[in-house]
């Protein structure tokens, strides 16, 4: 289940995550699956057929976070590399519009961020803004600007 996988990602259980996603083909995320990059209080929207799949790597938790988002929040680089290889969207935005890159930067996982943004790494876009109009390097919300 997605909840079980999220827990394994959160706690850095690489072997468990690998077992959980091994049956998926090794295929990078196809951006044409996105119907809207960001809808406020929802996040990234995908094609209906993709959303209806029993499982894909861009299923979300109650905050709109994917497995890759949770990996970024926890600096789990090895897990993130596996997830991207198996089709995680490196530019997925959660309900607040945060991408994995927003979290990697905010939580100071700079090696993770460098890999995530590299064209030959995660391939993420660092120009995406969250719902507060903040880019990857600006923080997660307006409080970050006051700091």
Task: Determine the pLDDT at residue 142.
Answer: 62
Per-residue model confidence as pLDDT tens digits over 28-82? 999 999 999 999 999 999 999 999 998 999 999 999 999 999 999 999 999 999 9
Distances from the Cα of 54 to the Cαs of 2, 49, 125, 132, in angstroms? 10, 10, 28, 32
3-state secondary structure at position 85: helix
What is d(CA 4, CA 106) in angstroms, rounded to the nearest whole number?
25
Which domains can be identified in the chain, with CATH numbers?
A: 2-135 (1.25.40.20)
Per-residue model confidence as pLDDT tens digits over 103-147? 999 999 999 999 999 999 999 999 999 999 999 999 888 655 444
């Amino acid at each position: 289940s997605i909840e079980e996988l999220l827990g394994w990602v959160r706690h850095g259980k690489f072997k468990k995550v690998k077992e959980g996603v091994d049956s998926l083909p090794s295929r990078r995320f196809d951006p044409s699956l996105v119907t809207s990059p960001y809808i406020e209080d929802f996040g990234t929207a995908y094609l209906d057929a993709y959303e209806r799949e029993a499982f894909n790597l861009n299923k979300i938790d109650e905050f709109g976070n994917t497995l890759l988002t949770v990996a970024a929040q926890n600096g789990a680089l090895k897990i993130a590399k596996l997830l991207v290889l198996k089709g995680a969207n490196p530019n997925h935005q959660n309900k607040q519009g945060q991408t994995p890159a927003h979290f990697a930067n905010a939580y100071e996982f700079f090696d993770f961020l460098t890999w995530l943004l590299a064209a030959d790494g995660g391939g993420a876009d660092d120009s995406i803004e969250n719902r507060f109009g903040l880019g990857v390097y600006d923080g997660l919300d307006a409080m970050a600007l006051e700091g």
